[in-house]
Structure 1
């Protein structure tokens, strides 16, 4: 779509990778639809084989603005249902949610399901951070909440800051 001679942001699904996502402590990200949340957990080999809520589909999109990072969306299968990750504002705070359904094949403009995949640091090419597409400086991260390491959105105070809670590898 042309707008004043410039192309608007548009995302078109290019490929899908199937991966488990790990935090800095090598814990796996597990989706709990009954609690409408995801947390990084220690997972047994037996739980890993079932794969319930752990094997993510990372949907890569083509974009008209590649400088922002590689646009991706996340989905996961739990039992016989598919869930996609999105962010929603609740009580003035951005919350990571998992909604039942599929990730769209094409996204004509902005979307609350798109994250920009960026290398975590220049010396760790196998670790990444994921910036929320609708709010610059907000990244997926984990936060200790009791015995849980909950998936959240977290604001970086400085662009050059290295925050280990945002480090995700697969």
Structure 2
């Protein structure tokens, strides 16, 4: 009898939404932006940006079962740094990490639900006022854009706009 109760409890726990397959998140970089990264920002920055976007989306989607079993395919279309990247500093000796500007990012993609339904998503935000520029590191405004996009996606805000 005890084994039956344990087996039933395990079945209920595994069948609950908390144990459903989380959404998979695939991040790519648009070819035009990849050229800009290679020429201007440095290849290292592509890894940083895609990692930050993936982390923001996965963290936000972990809080909601709405996308369980879905596939999120995102393309980083553009990003603008707040401070110079290592490559920019190397290419222009007079440039300093004290240099600061407005940044942001642009994201496009689609959500493929578990039932195969595809929904396009897009989000972009660039700071326009230097006084409001966020943070102190190279990709501060871009990271802020990723976090804001991820929160809106998790709430269904991006899907509701389509």
Instruction: State TM-score, norm by structure 1.
Output: 0.28
Q: Of the two, which has the highest radius of gyration?
A: 2
TM-score, normalization: structure 2?
A: 0.29
Name the structure with the higher helix share: 2
